[in-house]
Structure 1
């Protein structure tokens, strides 16, 4: 993701949803009509209904901070909540509190720790309306896209609630000498994890990543982005209600360049999601202290539509892949590669669907896309689009901000004729913008898809499952989805998820997603005879005996 506010929403005529099939015959390439605005349902809640002084006062009790800061609602640009701000000494205090609580938490049997995650799972689904409101208010995203976060966190909570014990239980390993050397692999918690979370997916990328750390017996000091702090604090409150000791989960807030390095300076392990540039700084800070780190960073994710793809399904999938959360998703698609034989048919459908995307700024279902989160994001999107058009790229859809809907809205945008001289070609936009490229040769398009510093996610569309798998295996991306944009791989939490190349280090999900929060400890017990000359053997006889034993173990295929 990249580094890093509105009059009340307007309403307009009802239009087909982006998920509704749209007749391609109605599509004419070139700038088209403005995206429609979804009408707000009667009785929809407002920020004043949700973020009351009582709610804010209750949630911010979880912050260690003596200063003051605030966040704003992207839908309106108005101040949302006044929040505590943490100074370096507050970060040190948060880590001291976490360390004091972690020892007792680590002594709790793993199945009891995991049971907290399962109770949290149930509470999250029961009370999801509360956090959906907060996610929308703090990010500006459409409610359906906010619900993606609820789904992702619930899936992770269930997975680690069920699988934490099998992942963490002691394991017997083969010893140096069969029968005589008994070996057990133990998993010890790292201690206090420093977790730096971004603003774009404030539920999933805050508490979702912390759940396996808690299950492994760690405490966590989290620095969520101030813009989306209420969502993270709500999740903390729910975890405490589910049985997590409050001291085990500390929260600090403040500017990244001030608070972030302090988190890295005190942590026993660092988990970070954000830009590649900042990720390098985090990695350097962790390396200086010889502590581990996991990083999920930027992406310039490609989608390949092969000659045998179902273009109707591919076009619908591309709308989801490119414009979910207004493109502010590390694994969203920003490059579309279309086989020449299906490119026109695909674009007719995709452009029509893109122009039908309904914008909305209300706390309810019904809008297809929401707002960007901040002024810097809107400026970056506008800059990329305007520069590309000035250099000769063609607008097939969108291309303009929509201040009539809200101060940070921008239409979903499709560009063709993009070349390497344009920033949108190689830089991560992190907004609702996708560029289109045509190809004729499969080997060539794989090379073009891989021709980037990033390697986070990719998508392949084909009717041939074997072909899809073969192409996927040649793409240098941590996850590849066949006939889906990003959700199939990300939602499959038994499998690891993360980036190659400049897109990161380490993985979330699966065994890797929890074992990274532990230190492996090997305990070996030797019986009967030592691994040294004994029973009257001299050194030469011992060496000969061991040589014969090693040959025998190979012959018996002992591991």
Structure 2
């Protein structure tokens, strides 16, 4: 595996201008003065200090909610056509400043530039999708009334109010801004808690949107530990959006249940890939690199289990392992690197523990299998294992790192059964030369998104379709109409005209019942119902 030259810790290649950091961190709602709490985050590439981050306290979060509620009331009164304008401007601004945000994402997360680009594209395209469609999705709609011509019904959409959004560290730019954009366009304000390690990219896009006309107090960012700011963040919210672990999602649901507050949760996955007997070996092997090792596997929808048909197993597996061994790892801020670093020491520890335990219990390493401290403190080789059994932690538990286990299956039925044998249901992938066959098989897999001849991007980036998890992988959806409408309260207004819904004059209820029963048949025959 290639070992590129790594810049020495602290060199300019892995730093951000201090003036930029100061401007971005000024957007954090936190106390100031000499006694204000701060923490220093490192760059994962080298471990060198990157930025001092102000920390929010409980009082800061409550203050953010107060300001957000005031700003939200004025924002909600604006026509939707006005609310979308900053986001229409955002697409052009992102393109113009692409290199700057790619640097920020890479330096704070440790990911390869090609994977930082995915975040850039997601925010640009998703926000543009909603900016174009929000006016249509939110406009009042006529609905069929009880009595045709006599009952007029209108459906209205009102904003929830203040949305608490908790975003993860692995895709901080995309999973912050691309969820916040529809919440804001729907007329809400947002209190956003990004992960402390990866908050700079969220602060960057907030700073940009404010310059493009977004009212300053509509989107506020608080940074700190859940034990300190979690309760006030959630306790005062009108809706909660969370992306993270299944364990964290359960805690959120339990927290908001007494107040009957709505929530959406995108949680963990142990995502399967099915390689059918007619799959194109070369295309599938190359596609599997992206499916398994994008962002060093730190992706809820990446592939961790691969079920390969026996008819193709002996051709596919050696080719895939060969490609994995040839992947280029590195810290450069360019597109040549195929995989970057893990982001947190705890992820390196989890990946190492899963692989070592599996190998000790009899798993076979076909590629990778070890850390690469020569490249950086948090590098781990892309790893392929076979002979993984059910008693290994790696088999059923989410690893969230650059590790995939391969299983030989004798039939498509076996592949489907084993793919569905999990408590998770977030994403899946099917590979075949026959897309129609692939779609039929995809429909039998219990996952919120299933990709045919792609790992995850085809479904995720199709913003007109919903994305989310089944089973323990989540509640609710992002993207599509639901990705915006979930941030609204729906109201039905029905007005009755000419005739009331009771017997007129001296007509008895018995006769009225007969007339109403007959009208059902009439409306059915005339297709009015």
Contact between 1:416 and 1:435, CA under 8 Å: does it hold in 2? yes
- Aligned residue number for residue 401 of structure 2: 431
Give the distance between the partners of 1:479 and 1:511, measured in 2 at CA: 16
- Aligned residue number for residue 497 of structure 1: 467
Tell me the alpha carbon deviations over residues 207-259 of structure 1, each in whole angstroms, 9 at most, x when there is no partner: 11111001101100000000001111001111112221111001100012332
Tell me the alpha carbon deviations over residues 463-518 of structure 1, each in whole angstroms, 9 at most, x when there is no partner: 11121011100000000000000110011000000000000000000101000000
SS of match in other structure, 1:236: helix
Give the distance between the partners of 2:267 and 2:415, measured in 1 at CA: 24
Contact between 2:158 and 2:489, CA under 8 Å: does it hold in 1? yes
- Aligned residue number for residue 76 of structure 1: 46
Tell me the alpha carbon deviations over residues 303-361 of structure 1, each in whole angstroms, 9 at most, x when there is no partner: 00000000100000000100010000000000011011111211121111100111111
Residue 472 (1) aligns with residue 442 (2): yes
Contact between 1:314 and 1:461, CA under 8 Å: does it hold in 2? yes
2:498 aligned to which of 518, 525, 528: 528
1:399 aligned to which of 361, 369, 382: 369
Give the distance between the partners of 2:5 and 2:55, measured in 1 at CA: 37
Contact between 2:72 and 2:162, CA under 8 Å: does it hold in 1? yes
1:499-514 mapped onto 2 (5 Å cutoff):
499-514=469-484
How far the C-alpha of 1:556 sits from its partner, in A, is 2.2
Residue 541 (1) aligns with residue 511 (2): yes
Contact between 1:222 and 1:250, CA under 8 Å: does it hold in 2? yes
Contact between 1:70 and 1:226, CA under 8 Å: does it hold in 2? no
Q: More deviation in 150-159 or 139-148?
A: 150-159
Contact between 2:305 and 2:405, CA under 8 Å: does it hold in 1? yes
Contact between 1:462 and 1:468, CA under 8 Å: does it hold in 2? yes
SS of match in other structure, 1:495: coil
How far the C-alpha of 1:40 sits from its partner, in A, is 6.5
How far the C-alpha of 1:430 sits from its partner, in A, is 0.2
- Aligned residue number for residue 4 of structure 2: 38
Contact between 2:104 and 2:200, CA under 8 Å: does it hold in 1? yes
1:120-159 mapped onto 2 (5 Å cutoff):
120-159=90-129
Residue 266 (1) aligns with residue 241 (2): no
Q: More deviation in 247-256 or 541-550?
A: 541-550
Residue 314 (1) aligns with residue 314 (2): no
2:381 aligned to which of 402, 407, 411: 411
Tell me the alpha carbon deviations over residues 35-67 of structure 1, each in whole angstroms, 9 at most, x when there is no partner: 2123579xx95233x241x22221122111123
SS of match in other structure, 2:198: helix
- Aligned residue number for residue 181 of structure 1: 151
Q: Using structure 1 for the length normalisation, give the TM-score.
A: 0.92
Unaligned runs of 5+ in 1: 1-34
Tell me the alpha carbon deviations over residues 498-540 of structure 1, each in whole angstroms, 9 at most, x when there is no partner: 0000000000001010000001100111111111222332333
Give the distance between the partners of 2:250 and 2:261, measured in 1 at CA: 14
SS of match in other structure, 1:62: coil
Contact between 1:159 and 1:493, CA under 8 Å: does it hold in 2? yes
How far the C-alpha of 1:154 sits from its partner, in A, is 1.0
Residue 55 (1) aligns with residue 20 (2): yes
- Aligned residue number for residue 34 of structure 2: none
How far the C-alpha of 1:363 sits from its partner, in A, is 2.1
Give the distance between the partners of 2:494 and 2:511, measured in 1 at CA: 25
2:422 aligned to which of 442, 452, 455: 452
Contact between 2:6 and 2:375, CA under 8 Å: does it hold in 1? no
- Aligned residue number for residue 348 of structure 1: 318
How far the C-alpha of 1:548 sits from its partner, in A, is 2.0
- Aligned residue number for residue 214 of structure 2: 244
SS of match in other structure, 1:186: strand
**Number of residue pairs matched?**
522
SS of match in other structure, 1:430: coil
Give the distance between the partners of 1:256 and 1:228, measured in 2 at CA: 15
1:87-236 mapped onto 2 (5 Å cutoff):
87-236=57-206
Contact between 1:223 and 1:252, CA under 8 Å: does it hold in 2? yes
Unaligned runs of 5+ in 2: 32-36
Question: For residues 55 and 496 of structure 1, do their structure 2 counterparts lie closer, same or farther at Cα, with a shift above 3 Å needed?
Answer: same
Q: More deviation in 416-425 or 112-121?
A: 112-121
Contact between 1:458 and 1:477, CA under 8 Å: does it hold in 2? yes
Give the distance between the partners of 1:382 and 1:186, measured in 2 at CA: 52
Give the distance between the partners of 1:256 and 1:458, measured in 2 at CA: 31
How far the C-alpha of 1:129 sits from its partner, in A, is 1.1
Q: Using structure 2 for the length normalisation, give the TM-score.
A: 0.97
SS of match in other structure, 2:164: strand
Residue 557 (1) aligns with residue 524 (2): no
Structure having greater relative contact order (Cα 8 Å, sep ≥ 6)? 1
Contact between 1:51 and 1:80, CA under 8 Å: does it hold in 2? no
Give the distance between the partners of 1:60 and 1:399, measured in 2 at CA: 38
SS of match in other structure, 2:217: helix
2:246 aligned to which of 264, 276, 287: 276
Contact between 1:45 and 1:363, CA under 8 Å: does it hold in 2? no
Give the distance between the partners of 2:505 and 2:126, measured in 1 at CA: 55
- Aligned residue number for residue 271 of structure 2: 301
Tell me the alpha carbon deviations over residues 386-439 of structure 1, each in whole angstroms, 9 at most, x when there is no partner: 000000000000000000000000000000000001100000000000001000
Contact between 1:150 and 1:203, CA under 8 Å: does it hold in 2? yes
Give the distance between the partners of 2:4 and 2:464, measured in 1 at CA: 37
Contact between 1:302 and 1:459, CA under 8 Å: does it hold in 2? yes
- Aligned residue number for residue 64 of structure 1: 29
